[in-house]
Amino acid sequence: MFTRGIRGATTINSNSESAIMEGTAELLNTIMHSNPTVSPEDIAFILFTVTPEITAVYPAKAARQLGWKTVPLMCAQEIPVDGSLPMCIRVLITCNTTMTQEEIHHVYLRQAVTLRPDLAFD
C-alpha cells in the first residue's frame, strides 16, 4: 500500500449552492469512477480549494451528501493569482492504494482542462 494523491478540478457557471454542489459531486464521482480500486474507506483526507468568488457553500458539503461521513474534509480559498481560471473548484484526495503514480487517473473537467491538458479526463 502507498499513500497517493489524486488531483482534480472543475469549473462552475455561478456562485450558487446548487452549482457548487453539482460541480463538486460530478468531480468526486468522476474521480472515483476513474480510479475504481479506491473507496471512501481508503481516503485519508480530502482538501478542496476554490477561487475567491466561490462563497455560497463549502464544496465539502457535496462529499457529505455522497455519504462520505467519516472522511476528513478541509476547504480553503485559492491564492488570487492574476489571470487564474475563475469559478474553479480543485480537489486533492489523499488515499491509500496499491496503484502506482502512473496508474492514478487525475480528473480535470470543463474549463479546468486548461490547467493540466496533459491530465484531462477523456
pLDDT of residue 117: 76
Please name the amino acid found at residue 87.
M
C-alpha cell at 99: 496503484
Give catalytic residue positions.
Answer: 7, 64, 75, 78, 90, 108, 116
Q: Is the pLDDT of residue 2 over 70?
A: yes
Q: What value does the CA radius of gyration of the chain take, rounded to a whole number of Å?
A: 14
Q: How far apart are CA 38 and CA 47, in angstroms?
A: 17
71-104 residue pLDDT tens: 999 999 999 899 899 999 999 999 999 998 889 9
Percent of the chain with pLDDT over 70: 97
Average pLDDT over every residue of 23-45 = 95
Q: Which domains does the chain have, with CATH numbers?
A: 2-119 (3.30.1330.40)
Give the global pTM: 0.93
Q: How confident is the model at residue 121 (pLDDT cuts 50, 70, 90)?
A: low
For 5-14, the pLDDT digits (tens) are 999 999 999 9
Q: 33 Cβ partners below 8 Å, 6+ apart?
A: none
